[in-house]
Amino acid sequence: SAVISQKPSRDICQRGTSLTIQCQVDSQVTMMFWYRQQPGQSLTLIATANQGSEATYESGFVIDKFPISRPNLTFSTLTVSNMSPEDSSIYLCSVALGQNYGYTFGSGTRLTVV
Amino acid sequence: DAKTTQPPSMDCAEGRAANLPCNHSTISGNEYVYWYRQIHSQGPQYIIHGLKNNETNEMASLIITEDRKSSTLILPHATLRDTAVYYCIVQGRDFNKFYFGSGTKLNVKP
């Protein structure tokens, strides 16, 4: 399985600012995924990030709010823009290693917006 | 994409088997059933997956009914460290997305 390093692990941010979350994988992967987990809730898929193409966003998520970069096969960033308290969540990245190998998740970024 | 239904919570005595059910009545023939767990807001951890046959690994066993409309995750000897939210997921049509349901909160008690 892959090892994912996610930074920062937590942050407290002022409303109206932006935060960029980094996801580094120890092996090359085609697809990376970003999830949001609001307090007490399950995980919600934000978008899928493929290297060399635009990210694909799920319903309810837009690029202006959650721009994603995928410059190579081992790295991706998610930016939470113009934050409000409603953006306070855990944000997780994930990679898929193939149907028979499951998915690996990072440890998450706990974001608090004040 | 097939949806899953799980009980919101279950209790289990330490040392006993924990049997977590999942309904996925709309599953397609080429979709897998995956189980993950999340301990105290850490990243979800892969447990096991299967297509048709029952599967077993060092963590758990997965029993899939013959019609594939439901499955059961079995933790043979639950410990306090198994207290977590357990998610049953059916792999999406494009085989590259995971959609999480609400999961089952398993409480293992001494």
pLDDT digits (tens, 9 = 90+) for A48-66: 998 888 899 999 999 999 9
Among B31, B46, B87, which would you mutate to test the A interface (most chain A Cβ atoms within 10 Å of its Cβ)? B46
Query: Does the distance separating the beta carbons of A105 and B44 come in below 8 Å?
Result: yes
SS3 of residue A58 by DSSP: coil
Residue A47, pLDDT > 90, answer yes
Please tell me which residue, A31 or A35, carries the higher pLDDT value.
Answer: A35
Give the contacts of A60 (CB within 8 A, at least 6 positions apart).
none
| Chain A neighbors of B34, CB-CB under 8 A | 102-103
C-alpha to C-alpha distance for A35 and A97, rounded to whole angstroms: 17
- Residue B35's pLDDT is 94
Q: What mean pLDDT do residues B47-74 have?
A: 94
Q: What mean pLDDT do residues B74-97 have?
A: 87
CB pairs under 8 A between A and B: 49
Query: Does the distance separating the beta carbons of A92 and B100 come in below 8 Å?
Result: no
Residue B48, pLDDT > 60, answer yes
